[in-house]
Amino acid sequence: MAKITFIEHNGTPHTVEIALGKTVMEAAVDNNVRGIDADCGGECACATCHVYIEPAWLAKVGLAAAGSQEASMLSFAAVTQPDSRLSCQITVTADLDGLVVRMPEGQH
């Protein structure tokens, strides 16, 4: 298991546990964390599970690869930043135990 902390746009934190091998998006959905819609169910097809990676974690998580499907989807997400990722594309590993991500104001 790994702990992931989601910080809502209004600053409210939610720390949840998720099995290794699942995605950061599933950590939110399985624990009913508000602010991750994940409309397409994790197919990298809708950009409604958008998060910002906390600076301290950016090196470990990495950015969406240039030219990737994720980068393309992200280019249409609401209010993207250089540290934007789609949480369905981040698989939880032991390395990411303690990960902190922030959520945008909305996913639509």
Give the interface with other proteins as residue ranges (CB under 8 A). 29-30, 32-34, 37, 39-41, 43, 45, 47, 69, 72-73, 75-76, 108
Q: Report the C-alpha gap between 42 and 86 in whole angstroms.
A: 9
Min CB(53)–other proteins separation in Å: 21
Task: Work out how close the CB of 83 gets to other proteins at its nearest, in angstroms, rounded to a whole number.
Answer: 19
Residues 6+ apart with CB under 8 A from 33: 6, 14, 16, 27
Instruction: Write down the least CB distance from residue 47 to other proteins, Å.
Output: 7
Give the nearer residue to other proteins in terms of CB position, either 48 or 101: 48
Provide CB contacts within 8 A for 64, sequence distance 6+.
70, 71, 74, 84, 85, 86, 89
